[in-house]
Structure 1
Amino acid sequence: MREAMEFDVVIVGAGPAGLSAACRLMQLAAERNRPLEVCVVEKGSEVGAHILSGAVFESRALDELFPDWKERGAPLNTPVVTDEVYLLKDAEQAVKLPDALLPRSLHNTGNHIVSLGNLVRWLGEQAEALGVQIFPGFAAAEVIYDDDGRVKGVATGDMGLAADGSQKDGYMPGMELHARYTLFAEGCRGHLGKQLSRRYGLARNADPQHYGLGIKELWDIDPALHRPGLVIHGSGWPLERDTGGGFFLYHGDNHQVAVGLIVDLNYANPYLSPFDEFQRLKHHPVLRQYLEGGKRVAYGARAIAKGGYNALPEMAFPGGLLLGCDAGTLNVAKIKGSHTAMKSGMLAAETVFAALGEEVSDAAWSQRWKAAFEDSWLYEELYRSRNFGPALHRFGTLAGGAFNYLEQNLLAGRLPITLHDRHFDHARLRPAADFEPIVYPKPDGRLSYDKSASVFLSNTNHEENQPCHLVLKDDALPLNKHLPLYAEPAQRYCPAGVYEVLGTEQGKPRLQINAQNCLHCKTCDIKDPSQNIVWVTPEGGGGPNYPNM
């Protein structure tokens, strides 16, 4: 029998959306002199441990939440001073695009280069100072419903289970956290958010969500090469023409740069390895000029929900809301989702706080949220960028870029048509027989590295003797179908070497799942061609421990 704790509001996930919601709730409680019990449960070992983003940060939502954020010491230390955008033609050549030809949304004047992990840690400090109870190291593993089918909270996962499900010494059952309203801010492809969407049909009127895999490294570079405030974006080589995506290189503080590649997960070639594409990308002169002679100090990866406005589900359901990247509020036109996630959390807090003081029917709850959302700058921003992603998917980088320039710069997103991409990303994968295997260069240990060395830098750790959190619906499918048809793409799309096919030389192939390497990026849950892999929460506290990503 699990014990239960009662709160006014439970929030799942201590990221930008969840912590902004918690802070705003307590601000309102203080303004109205109304006691409020707010709990945030976080699966990472500490607040910020699982946070990974580029990141160029727009402070619009933060300005509203904490107008005095500078005085409070928010870690926004490096304002953007220069934007550069490149089209890489091949392994040596590049074209620098003039500012006048870029969509307005790609200009970053007034923004800051940040570690989102450190910003989230700071938000956690503000939340605790306001009286929020934060429980890191506890994974929300199950949604709890009342007899009427309304969400009444979550249960944290059991601690101390062996791989076979038996109880080890020190076993501790999960705890139920009950609340009037539960806010789900798990990040992209939240496993509870998926369940809620299916149960309540939240995505029935939306386009399929679209995703990218973002892979990032932090480098200490030669101080003589460091240009604080320089933001570089680009696309093209090494990705194939029918594979979308782009790279970034941001000059932050402390003589560090953040470098990364985002690969759209609607790619067709099963031989493509996003990790290896990123490793060879760093050899291009546009990036090499800064990285050469430097030291790689951190590595990580995370999927990104980039379907935008057209892929937004209904965010409200009986007893709660989906927030931030759990719903897909990232603005792909800006390549930014932190400020939109924060605003979704703030809107949720205001809607919930008003509802706590009265009896509100499920229908009225949904209408209240819809009215608050559609009356916000968040809705307007996402609506105006609704065609950006579909244009790139349908027309390609050059033609899609031209379309976006015209719509964003000349029409401010008000074109009276809406483009759609109604194909699921995993369904775009084609048979291996349609392609030649890609032979990637061996890592040189100076600019490029292998997966094992990279995972080491992510500080990833899981208790090995626990139930595997990467669940196969059909254990036979990877070898009976995916290996002959797609050359088992999991061994390449995973950026952490979790999936390996062993024994092929002996004619006895077997799939090995190295779950202890998992970065919680969710790519396997997204890209598996049969949707056979289900990511569930491991024991709380497991996963990466990013210091300042």
Structure 2
Amino acid sequence: MEREFMEFDVVIVGGGPAGLAAACRLKQKAAETGQEISVCLVEKGSEVGAHILSGAVFEPRALNELFPDWQEKGAPLNTKVLRDDIYLLRSAEKASKLPNLFVPKTMHNEGNYIISLGNLCRWLAEQAEALGVEIYPGFAAQEALLDENGIVRGIITGDLGVGRDGQPKDGYTPGMELRGKYTLFAEGCRGHIGKQLIKKYQLDSEADAQHYGIGIKELWDIDPAKHEAGLVVHTAGWPLNNENPGGSFLYHLENNQVVVGLIVDLSYSNPFLSPFDEFQRYKHHPRIAQYLEGGRRVAYGARAICKGGFNSLPKMVFPGGALIGCDLGTLNFAKIKGSHTAMKSGMLAAEAIAKALLTQREGDELTDYVEAFKASWLYDELFRSRNFGAALHKFGTLLGGAFNFIDQNLFGGKIPLTLHDNKPDYACLKEASQSAAIEYPKPDGKLSFDKLSSVFLSNTNHEEDQPIHLRLTDPLIPIGQNLPKYDEPAQRYCPAGVYEVVKDDSGQSQFQINAQNCVHCKTCDIKDPAQNITWVTPEGSGGPNYPNM
């Protein structure tokens, strides 16, 4: 099929911190060297920031390099971290505060800011457009555009106006080819095309297995008397444990708002565990409830995060392009931060592309990006944190925490051994017969809530009459295999009520996919024990519309 096309020097997929930083840096380098570099950035959300979800405590190191005058330009970094409170929750009622002396250095946040990453990305988009970047929100990159030699030459956007049956409807518009001399993929964690490229080019052949968590987050307006702008609270322990690990955060923003969230490690073993319901009961712990009681929940969302770190980094480049940000896996889980590292990776890739275009080495692999990465503070930071996640997986919260304290505080992250964890998260599930069922309390409508009312607050919307974007390789597996072995965990690991096991008129179990509810967290693509679910992009602008998240 003949498609319309547009040609650029560089095509960037994804309007998160990595993609936007890369776009800005390309235009800055063009101005410095007198080049003309045309840059196009596509974003599947209805606007830049609509699909951005992060804690977020932000380290401004990369932003300082990209825009040294960001304060004068009005970047939305308004709340400096006041202090860190870290607790071990020992039960539903008890907690012990960790003395500052025993906190790993990576968990100290002096000089950082509590922000809305979505709002920072909106600001970065303004800077990018002012520099001449063409940004197209509402356009979902569906697949990479490859030439006959296997070189990536851009992307193809998704068709618009296709019915549930796969047939064109009135107003059908085929996707466009956006052609680029280089293409950067900045889709975020478990990027749809990034996943395909990693497989096609075997980019992960020498890397450890990637590991993931699911982060569930709410934004609250709270009683001004309980608000302490700049306070950062982290917890470990209850309601999770060594078999089903994770941790939480509660950050005090400006304007009497807090963000509260739970990160559940997707290596959890109990198929009856529901990350959403663990988060709801977590908010009832006295240490957390003291801030939320009397407040009002105003937003909800969920997103998977890459947490494998240095040891899980795939090869960064392939013919015609590169992976950046969380598509590559640059999050530093020891800090629970990935925005500054994503930005730096995008900036390094941009500088390598600008150099390649200047010397007319188009189509070559971006080896300069790889070399610049190895010489950067980003490499050093990720290397120093390489053992953090593996230690927690192998030794549990207490012993793993002790190992990390020794590694980070005494050895500066350079302890002379490297821990490896090569068991994929989906393979960690035990069978239902070996696991204890979990009975979750009913939500009270004050601190805890149900999934559907939560999805409503995410402002999620999809065109109903379109192909389901959650694809089953074998439609028989959910009921025939996952239900008897694991009590079909999809009905619990999804934080948006997308997957249900229902009875038909004859009493037979059926697997139902409510794709309209999907908040694009990618957990199903990661955690399904049969690796039977593939998340692909729905029509552009579908999904959540997060404000201030």
How many angstroms does 1:192 deviate by?
Answer: 0.2
Equivalent-residue separation in structure 2 for 1:224 and 1:130 (angstroms): 43
Q: 1:361 to 1:461 in 2, by over 3 A?
A: closer
Which stretch of the first structure deviates more once superposed, 96-105 or 233-242?
A: 233-242
* 1:257 corresponds to 2:258: yes
Percent of aligned positions that are identical: 67
Which residue number corresponds to residue 224 of structure 2?
223
How many angstroms does 1:504 deviate by?
Answer: 7.7
Which residue number corresponds to residue 172 of structure 1?
173
How many angstroms does 1:231 deviate by?
Answer: 0.0
Partner SS for 1:169? strand
Which residue number corresponds to residue 398 of structure 2?
398
Equivalent-residue separation in structure 1 for 2:122 and 2:518 (angstroms): 22
Partner SS for 2:391? helix
Residue deviations 1:455-508 (CA, integer Å, cap 9, x gap): 000000000000000000000000000001100000000000000000189631
Which residue number corresponds to residue 331 of structure 2?
330
Equivalent-residue separation in structure 1 for 2:121 and 2:165 (angstroms): 36
Q: TM-score, normalised by structure 1?
A: 0.99
Which residue number corresponds to residue 418 of structure 1?
418
Q: Which AA in structure 1 matches 2:302?
A: A
Which residue number corresponds to residue 143 of structure 1?
144
Which residue number corresponds to residue 189 of structure 1?
190
Which residue number corresponds to residue 118 of structure 2?
117
| Cα pair 2:356 2:362 within 8 Å, conserved | no
Which residue number corresponds to residue 542 of structure 1?
542
Which residue number corresponds to residue 25 of structure 1?
26
Q: Which AA in structure 2 matches 1:165?
A: G
Residue deviations 1:73-120 (CA, integer Å, cap 9, x gap): 000000001100000010100000000001000000100000000000
Which residue number corresponds to residue 349 of structure 2?
348
Q: How does 1:488-503 map to 2 (within 5 A)?
A: 488-503=488-503
How many angstroms does 1:169 deviate by?
Answer: 1.1
Which residue number corresponds to residue 300 of structure 1?
301
Q: Which AA in structure 1 matches 2:514?
A: N
Equivalent-residue separation in structure 2 for 1:366 and 1:434 (angstroms): 48
Q: 1:504 to 1:231 in 2, by over 3 A?
A: farther
Which residue number corresponds to residue 370 of structure 1?
370
Q: How does 1:84-123 map to 2 (within 5 A)?
A: 84-123=85-124
Which residue number corresponds to residue 453 of structure 2?
453
Structure 2 gaps of 5+ residues are none
Instruction: Count residues in correspondence.
Output: 548
| Cα pair 2:35 2:358 within 8 Å, conserved | no
Q: Which AA in structure 2 matches 1:382?
A: L
Equivalent-residue separation in structure 2 for 1:499 and 1:79 (angstroms): 40
Q: Which AA in structure 2 matches 1:106?
A: M
Equivalent-residue separation in structure 1 for 2:531 and 2:168 (angstroms): 30
Residue deviations 1:149-189 (CA, integer Å, cap 9, x gap): 10000000000000001111111110000011000000000
Partner SS for 2:365? helix
Equivalent-residue separation in structure 1 for 2:466 and 2:106 (angstroms): 45
| Cα pair 2:6 2:179 within 8 Å, conserved | yes
Q: How does 1:421-432 map to 2 (within 5 A)?
A: 421-432=421-432
Which residue number corresponds to residue 76 of structure 2?
75
Equivalent-residue separation in structure 2 for 1:30 and 1:9 (angstroms): 15
Equivalent-residue separation in structure 2 for 1:367 and 1:462 (angstroms): 40
How many angstroms does 1:33 deviate by?
Answer: 1.9
How many angstroms does 1:349 deviate by?
Answer: 0.5
Residue deviations 1:126-166 (CA, integer Å, cap 9, x gap): 00000000000000001111111100000000000000011
Equivalent-residue separation in structure 1 for 2:124 and 2:367 (angstroms): 29
Equivalent-residue separation in structure 1 for 2:210 and 2:275 (angstroms): 20
Which residue number corresponds to residue 360 of structure 1?
361
Partner SS for 1:511? strand
Equivalent-residue separation in structure 2 for 1:469 and 1:496 (angstroms): 15
Which residue number corresponds to residue 241 of structure 2?
240
Equivalent-residue separation in structure 2 for 1:344 and 1:367 (angstroms): 14
Equivalent-residue separation in structure 2 for 1:148 and 1:453 (angstroms): 49
Q: Which AA in structure 2 matches 1:469?
A: H
Q: Which AA in structure 2 matches 1:483?
A: L
How many angstroms does 1:361 deviate by?
Answer: 7.6
Q: Which AA in structure 2 matches 1:397?
A: T
How many angstroms does 1:416 deviate by?
Answer: 1.4
* 1:14 corresponds to 2:38: no
Which residue number corresponds to residue 482 of structure 1?
482
User: What is the root-mean-square deviation of aligned Cα atoms in Å?
Assistant: 1.0
Which residue number corresponds to residue 316 of structure 1?
317
Which stretch of the first structure deviates more once superposed, 453-462 or 161-170?
A: 161-170
How many angstroms does 1:240 deviate by?
Answer: 3.1
How many angstroms does 1:366 deviate by?
Answer: 4.3
Equivalent-residue separation in structure 1 for 2:54 and 2:544 (angstroms): 14
Partner SS for 2:71? helix
Residue deviations 1:337-393 (CA, integer Å, cap 9, x gap): 00000000000010000001234386x634322211101000000001001110011
Q: TM-score, normalised by structure 2?
A: 0.99
Structure 1 gaps of 5+ residues are none
* 1:130 corresponds to 2:95: no
Q: Which AA in structure 2 matches 1:321?
A: A
Residue deviations 1:207-238 (CA, integer Å, cap 9, x gap): 01000000000000000100000000011111
Equivalent-residue separation in structure 1 for 2:505 and 2:95 (angstroms): 41
Q: How does 1:24-43 map to 2 (within 5 A)?
A: 24-43=25-44
Equivalent-residue separation in structure 1 for 2:46 and 2:64 (angstroms): 29
Q: Which AA in structure 1 matches 2:277?
A: D
How many angstroms does 1:516 deviate by?
Answer: 0.2
Partner SS for 2:251? strand
